[in-house]
Amino acid sequence: MSESLAMDFIIICDANTEKLLTNTSILSWMETVNVAMETMYGVMEDLGVDSLDVDWISFLVWMFLPIMVAFVLPVFVILFLYLTALIIHIYRARHKLRDAFAVDVWLGARKTVALLWELQAKIWHGYEIHGVEKLPASGPALVVYYHGAIPIDLYYVMAKVVLNQNRLLYAVADRFMFKIPGWNLMLKVMCVTPGAPEDCIKLLQEGNLLSLSPGGVREALFGDEYYRLVWRNRMGFAKVAKKAKVPIYPMFTQNCREGFRSIRMGRHFLEWVYEKTRLPIVPIYGGFPVKFRTYIGDPIPYDPKVSAQELAVKTHNALEQMIDAHQKIPGTVFGALLDRIPVFSTEKQE
């Protein structure tokens, strides 16, 4: 009896698998689900199971699977970050006995993970960067950018700077990132700092490039497809730039809000929770292979006559102008996907 059931199951599976494989190019999403459900029907009949509402199950699978995929894709970014951390840990283990007088034991690790991120950017987002040559080849500068739901575009810029200019772009991150298991070493090696003002000033005075987003996590979680800056009159970055006497470079990535999005349901409550606890508990979905283009604007030079408040306003206006120049408002995932096809490209020219 068991052998007969096994043979029937194999025959059913083989028939339907062949149907899937030979008709891959013409099967719709619903037809694919139906083929899978036919296989399930046959197995259930042979097993004598007839109490399940298979039509209802089929409907649920058809309706919820795309939603589940949308929430699963952001997990791959987290896995990619853990892969970065793993490479760095392996590199550290390999070079434990390296000569103490080596110039930079982490240079190879940084370039390895930078190449990894550059390849991912090119394949998944057709990534382009415009204006990277504006960044100084040596000497300090502060890069101020718009913060998407996940700042994956910043990772791409950091990779480009490491590979093309052979220098580091330091980044300011929220303190909660340093509490994520396994990330401390990665953040240290990739030159990520919690962003205390005195630390930022010191990094700039030492001649480094530093990037930060005045909107931070709040802008990441509660921004939307209209790309409004969520700075709330923050000017700490301007005070840092003035004290370090460095220029500011505004930076914006087209469609960064379409690649990953935060949910809007219950937003007021989630924002209240964030303001009270500083916990970033807003769910993020996406990972869509939309077109990403990063634009680095002209520098806002250091001027001792300009106050921190005036400098903050100038930077805010410069970034808003970049958004107006390069981003279709409101942004849509479908439009950002079409943007990868040259004939449908919505790239704006200044």
CB atoms within 10 A of CB 95: 14
Q: Is 111 exposed, middle or buried (0-12, 13-18, 19+ CB in 10 A)?
A: middle
Residue 139: which region, alpha, beta or left (left: phi > 0; alpha: psi -120 to 50)? left
Q: Which of the residues are catalytic?
A: 147
Contact 287, 71 (CB under 8 A): no
8 A C-beta contact, residue 337 and residue 287: no
For residues 139 and 208, what is the distance between their CA atoms, to the nearest angstrom? Answer: 6
d(CA 337, CA 286): 12
CA dihedral 311, 315, 316, 317 (to 10 degrees): 100
CB 203 within 8 Å of CB 168: no
Q: How many CB atoms lie within 10 A of CB 55?
A: 9
* Residue 1 identity (one-letter amino acid): M
Which helix (H) or strand (E) segment holds residue 61: the answer is helix 54-94
* Maximum pairwise Cα distance, the chain: 91
DSSP state of 103: S
Distance (Å, whole) CA 183 – CA 197? 22
